[in-house]
Structure 1
Amino acid sequence: MSADHGPDEDRARLILPQLRLDDLLTELQARLQTVVATRDRVHALLEAVVSIGGDLDLETVLHRIIKAATTLVDARYGALGVIGEEGEHLVRFVTVGVSQEEIEAIGHWPHGHGILGLLIKDPRPLRLHDLTEHPDSHGFPAGHPPMRRFLGVPVRVREEVFGNLYLTEKAGGGDFDEEDEIVVTALATAAGVAIENARLYEEGRRRERWLAASGEVTTALLSGRDQGEVIGLVAERARQICDAHLATVSLLDRTASRLVVRAAAGPDADRLHGLRVPLDQGVAAAVCDTGESQVLADGHPGTAEVMPGLPVGPVLMVPLGEGGEVRGVIAVAGTPGGAAFGNDTLRLLEAFAGPVTVALELAERRRDAERLALLEDRDRIAKDLHDTVIQRLFATAMTLMSAAKLIEHPDVSQRVRRAIDDLDDTIRQIRSTIFALQTGPEEEGLRSRLHAVVDAAAEQLGFAPSVRLDGLLDTEVDDDLADQLVAVAREALSNVARHARAGQVSVAVDVGDDLVLRVDDNGVGIPEEGRRSGLRNMADRAERLGGSFLTRDRPEGGTTLVWRVPLHRDR
């Protein structure tokens, strides 16, 4: 039996499949668009991964990471906060979408509080639709543009949380969705690998600089270069190894119980050279007493005492030596507001200080050996002069004295006696030379101080005075009496240079029962009406020491000055 179908029923049968086909086509088109969008996003993610892994400079890698993250999820503002080694706060930010003023304000955030602190304590992805409603949405810098949408994702390097990616305000006002979180999490995974590679590369470069610097400093010290120059090289290389703003090398002066800055490197470093730091308290004293390094964060009170007068940030101090054998301290400082020096930097600087300490010790031992050899050579020369030369001269003088008694001709007898006097004077000069040889090359004895006074007076006089120094000046004359003698000699020569108009001056010092200074010149003499303040000063010095002072005219013109004090005042 056949059934008849009306026109409406037939039309409905035709339209229904058409509608289903349109729905299928629409759904297919939507799926295709989703696939295309996903493909484009995956493509963008791959490009971002390739981009951040294409450089080994850590600073460049960090900027590329945050730039790629904001681009992938269309975020207006982004930041990568680096967590300190203690894991309690953020030590630096790399930002996108904020001004320089806001970047500087970021540097003063309480980085252990608010949303930032929450992510540090619980390093898991955090996505918020309305940041203002979260109880921890505080701590952002004043003046920052309003932020509501928020996405935070940790960046891990192996098992360590290196930092967090912070993204806010999606373009167009939308919310960060689950797909955004997945994309940024994937980027963070790749970022961890890139950061680790950059850190390993930087660590390798720093170790290379450390090896080169250690070899350079050790070679310089052991090759006999000037110690001050080498210590300056140590300061510069320490600054480079640690990427520091300033560096100083201070050596211990145990006699005065203080550290003396022997070298400094960096901006305005000259202001630190020669600085004396007492060892009665402070971080420098702690380093020298314990032989342990000190790491000071930015703003620590101890940073001001390490490098006073200069703006510095964190400071790292490493001893030169261990335990009770500390010879000094190497200190490096960062810029104000900078991150504290990490353990890697600490280990590198300590490793650098080790061979420097050994090289300093070896160089000092070599200088001691050279000095001992020089003293032994001087002693041999002094013995030869005393046992051979002086004895022969003395025997010759004695022979001439005996012969002079047999000479009847007056002129010949006078010439022989003059020759005897010349031999006596020669013997005295040789003895003076012997005493000078017995003084160490680095010791500033009375003999060398007197020669320095005479040399300085030669510039004022216009000629060099003759000098005769007899006796054990460096061993018999105590320090107080030596200071008085030097002061009188300087005053006497200054008076001759200013007033005498002399062409010849002789200075003689004799050490016997008394210490006697004699200065002769061939000048105009001492006028009666002339100023005598300098002469009074010399007379007062002699009187206080129980001695005498006199001046007299020379028959041939000029003046003789004699300053005499007892050598042993207790007698």
Structure 2
Amino acid sequence: MSDEPSEQAPSRGVPRSPRLPVLLEAVLRVGTDLELRATLQQIIDTATALTDARYGALGVLDAGTGTISELFVTGLSDSEQAAIGDFPDGHTGLLGALIEQGEPLRSDHLADDPRSCGVPPGHPVMHSFLGAPIRVHRKVFGNIYLAEKETGHFTDTDMTLLRVLASQAGIAIGNARLYESARQRERWIEGAAAVTNTLLTGENASDALMTVAERARMLSDASAGVILQPNEEGGMEIVVASTLEDPAGLVGTAIAPGSPVLVQLLGGEAVFIEDSATDPRMTTPVRSRFGPSMMLPLQSGGRLIGTLALPRRRGARPYTDVDRLLASQFASQAALALVLADSQHDREQLAVYEDRDRIARDLHDLVVQRLFATEMMLESTRRRAGAEDTDELLGRAVDELDSTIQEVRTAIFALQQPPAEAPTTFRGRVLRETSGAAAVLGFQPSVHFTGAVDALVRDPVDGQLLAALRGALAAAHRRAGVSAIEVEVDATAVLPDGRSGVRLTVADDGHEPDGSRAPTVIWQAPL
């Protein structure tokens, strides 16, 4: 016996019942929010209320596998959802039958329906069921599942109402997807532009890579954004990591040579992973922490800078085709920006070096030569003069000129050092001074450190020690026969007055103009 026969309108299939205003209101309400996830939750809430169902769910189907990739539910508390556990894949039972059939499906007694396979442990008991597919542009986007009608079994009218609502939901979802896609593209374009602007302002290499990783992580809603680069062993190593947690567990992690995924990465190919923890291509020890992942080449003009990896947590929603396309475009833009920034940095360094070399050459050719000539004239005059006061006066003038020459030569020596990124540690600054000296001396000075120099030597002592080191290296450069220089920085030294201090010792194998052995320079200061 057909229920509610007098309320049907066969010519249109739309119920003419007291619930018609409710249906119209539901149709108008669905899709008022253009945010896709909010729209999906709104659809299932509306369908549940419209049909007097106790439970409702909207399953979004994965376009590739046809399984349920996301589930929006209503009528279940958080504790009930936790008791159920993972949601079904949609391939079995009535859910699978609905996917295969592609048409509305109803069951009045789930326990007696041969298509039903029961419910998992922890799932509420359900007797009646009503389901309908949602089509977006003629393709099934997902299904609406309703269960346990509170006033009895689901009726023909309920099925018709759900069919109309599902049709309207398809339109609303299509609009929401278009809006979300447009907004998503806009965010990625803005992110790529921001990265380009930031990189071209002159960041160093490490900060530039971190900028790319951090912005990509935020745009892709990933758990981490990491950049891998080839290492000396022939594998690839994580060099920077942006994550909300401690990145120490990621930085330094390497993909060993011979890993299946390594050939693709070194070849500049994009790799898309459904589940990092179970994919056999993934061999790193941190893979168990992540699920869906994208590994995108940072490549421009045939030059492979590295790989941008964007893993999400296990159980997180998978990346869509649009996500992959936009992230790949971002990686290409970021790689180009990195290459341009590197080239700009090289040009700026070259310009600085050329300018410093010109200044040093001018100082040496003009200033030092004139000062030296003046010193010689004064020295000759002093020897000829007989007056004692004149001798003392000229002696002081000669000493001042000699000191000036030493200072200018020290400045020339510093200017001739190749420009480089300023080290952040005291040890690094000392090594930078000696490396710069090697470019002028033709050999590398030997450097030894004693004690925790980075922790103990602080401002202003560090600046004074570096100035003394620079002067000692410049003085050694002027001596004849210098083929070796030994530099020692001792942060555990005991000063003559008994205080703890730092001692700088610079010794070389050169000779003074009179043939005597070059003196050892010793500089010390309390800490």
- After TM superposition, the score normalised by the length of structure 2 is 0.76
Aligned twin of 2:521: 518
Which whole-Å CA distance do the structure 2 matches of 1:132 and 1:126 have between them?
Answer: 16
With over 3 angstroms needed to count, the CA separation of the structure-2 counterparts of 1:432 and 1:284, relative to structure 1, is farther
Matches within 5 A, 1:522-537: none
Q: CA RMSD in A?
A: 4.3
Instruction: Report the CA distance between 1:239 and its aligned residue.
Output: 3.5
Aligned twin of 1:181: 159
Which whole-Å CA distance do the structure 1 matches of 2:18 and 2:164 have between them?
Answer: 15
Match of 1:61 among 30, 39, 51: 39
Which whole-Å CA distance do the structure 2 matches of 1:236 and 1:297 have between them?
Answer: 22
Match of 1:471 among 473, 476, 484: 476
Aligned twin of 1:166: 145
Tell me if the contact between 1:295 and 1:340 (Cα under 8 Å) persists in the aligned partners. no
Question: Any idea what the Cα deviations from partners look like across 1:26-74, whole Å, max 9, x if unmatched?
Answer: xxxx876667973324433322222213221222221222223223333
Query: Secondary structure, in 3 states, of the residue corresponding to 2:57?
Result: strand
1:53 alignment partner AA: G
Query: Secondary structure, in 3 states, of the residue corresponding to 1:471?
Result: helix
Tell me if the contact between 1:52 and 1:61 (Cα under 8 Å) persists in the aligned partners. yes
Q: Is 1:200 aligned to residue 198 of structure 2?
A: no
With over 3 angstroms needed to count, the CA separation of the structure-2 counterparts of 1:122 and 1:224, relative to structure 1, is same
Which whole-Å CA distance do the structure 2 matches of 1:504 and 1:277 have between them?
Answer: 39
2:133 alignment partner AA: P
Instruction: Report the CA distance between 1:238 and its aligned residue.
Output: 2.5
Question: Any idea what the Cα deviations from partners look like across 1:515-569, whole Å, max 9, x if unmatched?
Answer: 974316799xxxxxxxxxxxxxxxxxxxxxxxxxxxxxxxxxxxxxxxxxxxxxx
Which whole-Å CA distance do the structure 2 matches of 1:58 and 1:428 have between them?
Answer: 73
Which whole-Å CA distance do the structure 2 matches of 1:399 and 1:498 have between them?
Answer: 41
Instruction: Report the CA distance between 1:187 and its aligned residue.
Output: 1.9
Instruction: Report the CA distance between 1:371 and its aligned residue.
Output: 0.6
Tell me if the contact between 1:379 and 1:438 (Cα under 8 Å) persists in the aligned partners. yes
Query: Secondary structure, in 3 states, of the residue corresponding to 1:164?
Result: strand
1:446 alignment partner AA: T
Instruction: Report the CA distance between 1:167 and its aligned residue.
Output: 2.1
Give the share of equivalent positions with the same residue, in percent.
35
Matches within 5 A, 1:479-558: 485-486=486-487, 489-491=488-490, 494-497=492-495, 500-501=498-499, 509-510=507-508, 512=510, 517-519=520-522
Match of 2:242 among 264, 284, 287: 264
Deviates more, 1:334-343 or 1:395-404: 395-404
Instruction: Report the CA distance between 1:288 and its aligned residue.
Output: 3.5
Aligned twin of 1:356: 334
Aligned twin of 2:27: 49
Match of 1:321 among 278, 293, 299: 299
1:215 alignment partner AA: A
Aligned twin of 2:351: 373
Question: Any idea what the Cα deviations from partners look like across 1:199-255, whole Å, max 9, x if unmatched?
Answer: 11111111222232222222222244666666555445434432x143424263656
With over 3 angstroms needed to count, the CA separation of the structure-2 counterparts of 1:287 and 1:269, relative to structure 1, is farther
Tell me if the contact between 2:259 and 2:282 (Cα under 8 Å) persists in the aligned partners. no
Aligned twin of 1:131: 110
Unaligned runs of 5+ in 1: 1-29, 524-571
Greater RCO, 1 or 2 (C-alpha within 8 Å, sep 6+) = 2
Instruction: Report the CA distance between 1:448 and its aligned residue.
Output: 7.2
Question: Any idea what the Cα deviations from partners look like across 1:365-413, whole Å, max 9, x if unmatched?
Answer: 1111111010001111111122222222332333344445434456755
Q: Is 1:119 aligned to residue 118 of structure 2?
A: no
Question: Any idea what the Cα deviations from partners look like across 1:325-367, whole Å, max 9, x if unmatched?
Answer: 2223333343442221111111111222222222222121111
Instruction: Report the CA distance between 1:91 and its aligned residue.
Output: 0.9
Tell me if the contact between 1:147 and 1:169 (Cα under 8 Å) persists in the aligned partners. yes
With over 3 angstroms needed to count, the CA separation of the structure-2 counterparts of 1:424 and 1:500, relative to structure 1, is farther
Which whole-Å CA distance do the structure 1 matches of 2:201 and 2:351 have between them?
Answer: 18
Query: Secondary structure, in 3 states, of the residue corresponding to 2:18?
Result: helix
Instruction: Report the CA distance between 1:313 and its aligned residue.
Output: 3.8
With over 3 angstroms needed to count, the CA separation of the structure-2 counterparts of 1:119 and 1:433, relative to structure 1, is same
Deviates more, 1:458-467 or 1:203-212: 458-467
Q: Is 1:250 aligned to residue 253 of structure 2?
A: no
Aligned twin of 2:443: none
Deviates more, 1:92-101 or 1:364-373: 92-101
Which whole-Å CA distance do the structure 2 matches of 1:62 and 1:462 have between them?
Answer: 63
Matches within 5 A, 1:77-476: 77-104=55-82, 108-115=86-93, 116-135=95-114, 137-138=116-117, 140-174=119-153, 176-224=154-202, 233-242=211-220, 244-250=221-227, 252=229, 258-262=236-240, 264-265=242-243, 267-268=244-245, 271=248, 274-278=251-255, 280=257, 285=262, 288-298=265-275, 300-301=277-278, 308=286, 311-321=289-299, 325-409=303-387, 412-413=390-391, 416=394, 419-420=397-398, 423-442=401-420, 444-446=432-434, 457=457, 464=464, 467=468, 468-469=471-472, 470-472=475-477
Question: Any idea what the Cα deviations from partners look like across 1:104-155, whole Å, max 9, x if unmatched?
Answer: 4555244154123343344333333433345553373312122343333221
Q: Which has the higher helix share?
A: 1
Aligned residues: 482
Aligned twin of 1:531: none
Tell me if the contact between 1:505 and 1:522 (Cα under 8 Å) persists in the aligned partners. yes
With over 3 angstroms needed to count, the CA separation of the structure-2 counterparts of 1:259 and 1:413, relative to structure 1, is same
Question: Any idea what the Cα deviations from partners look like across 1:142-174, whole Å, max 9, x if unmatched?
Answer: 121223433332211112211112222333443
Unaligned runs of 5+ in 2: 422-431, 438-446, 512-516
Which whole-Å CA distance do the structure 2 matches of 1:507 and 1:380 have between them?
Answer: 31
Tell me if the contact between 1:82 and 1:90 (Cα under 8 Å) persists in the aligned partners. yes
Deviates more, 1:457-466 or 1:71-80: 457-466
With over 3 angstroms needed to count, the CA separation of the structure-2 counterparts of 1:262 and 1:200, relative to structure 1, is same
Tell me if the contact between 2:230 and 2:236 (Cα under 8 Å) persists in the aligned partners. yes
Which whole-Å CA distance do the structure 2 matches of 1:504 and 1:248 have between them?
Answer: 42
- After TM superposition, the score normalised by the length of structure 1 is 0.71
Query: Secondary structure, in 3 states, of the residue corresponding to 1:295?
Result: strand
With over 3 angstroms needed to count, the CA separation of the structure-2 counterparts of 1:522 and 1:416, relative to structure 1, is farther
